[in-house]
Chain A
Amino acid sequence: MINEYKSYLEPKFVYLPLTDPTYKIANVKVEEGDAVLVGTVLGYKYKGQIKLPVISSVSGTVKGFEELQDRFGKTVDHCVIENNMEDNQIELKAFENASTSQVRARLLELGLEQINVDGIFTPLKFDRPIKHVVVNASFTNEPFLKTDYLFVNEYAEHIAQGIELLKVAANAETVTVIADKDMEPFAFNSLGEAIVDKDMRLETVKLQKVNGSDVKVISKLIKKPVSPDLLSDGVLYVKVDTAKIVYDAVVLGKVSNSRQVAITGDGIKENVIYEVVVGTKLSEIVSDLGGYNEVDEMVLHYGSFTTGNQLTTDETSITLNVDTINFQEYIELEEDVCTKCGECNDVCPVGILPQNIMDAEMRNVNERIVDLDTGACIECGLCTYTCPSNINVLEWVRRAKRRVG
Chain B
Amino acid sequence: MKFVTKKPPIVTNGEHTYKRSLNLHIALIIAALAAVILNGFYTYPDVTLFTSGLEQSFKVFSMIAIASVISVVIELFYALSEGNTSKFSSYKGFVDPINTGILIALLLPINAPIFVLALAVFVGVYIGKIVFGGYGFYIFNPALVGALFAFSAFGAGHLASDIVTPLETLKLAITTNTTFELQSVLPLIIGNYQSISIGSTSVAVLGLLFAYLCVTKVIDLRISGTYLLTVLVMSLGIGFIIFGFGEMALGYVLINIVTGLAVFGAVFFISETVSTPTSRETKLIYAVTVAILMMVFRTLSSNVEGLIYAVLFGNMITPFLNRTVKHSNKKALLKTLVGITIAVVGVTFIIGFMLKGQIEESSINAIVVTLGGIL
Contact = CB atoms under 8 A, between A and B. Distances in A.
A153 interface: no
Interface string A355-392: 11001000000001001110000000100111111101
Interface in A134-172: 142-143
Contacts of B322: 356, 359
B279 A353 contact: yes
B20 A372 contact: no
B303 to A, nearest CB: 28
A353 B325 contact: yes
B45 interface: no
B6 interface: yes
Interface in B266-318: 273-274, 276-280, 283
A205 B5 CA distance: 33
A68 to B, nearest CB: 14
Nearest to A395: B8
Given A225-B329, A313-B3, A353-B279, A210 B8 contact: no
A387 B12 contact: yes
The SS class assigned to the B binding surface is loop
Contacts of B329: 225, 351
A339 B1 contact: no
A371 B326 CA distance: 7
Q: For chain B, give the interface size range.
A: 35 or more
B278 A356 contact: yes
Contacts of A352: 327-328
Contacts of A348: 328
Interface residues of A, number: 57
A390 B16 CA distance: 7
Contacts of A386: 12-13, 15
B243 to A, nearest CB: 39
A385 B10 contact: yes
A298 B2 contact: yes
Contacts of B327: 351-353, 373
A297 B2 contact: yes
Given A305-B8, A341-B17, A356-B322, 11 more contacts: A265-B9, A297-B3, A298-B2, A306-B10, A340-B276, A351-B328, A353-B278, A356-B325, A372-B326, A385-B13, A386-B15
21 contacts: A294-B1, A296-B1, A296-B2, A299-B6, A299-B7, A305-B11, A312-B3, A313-B3, A330-B9, A339-B20, A340-B274, A342-B277, A342-B279, A342-B283, A345-B328, A346-B279, A353-B279, A356-B278, A356-B325, A386-B13, A388-B17
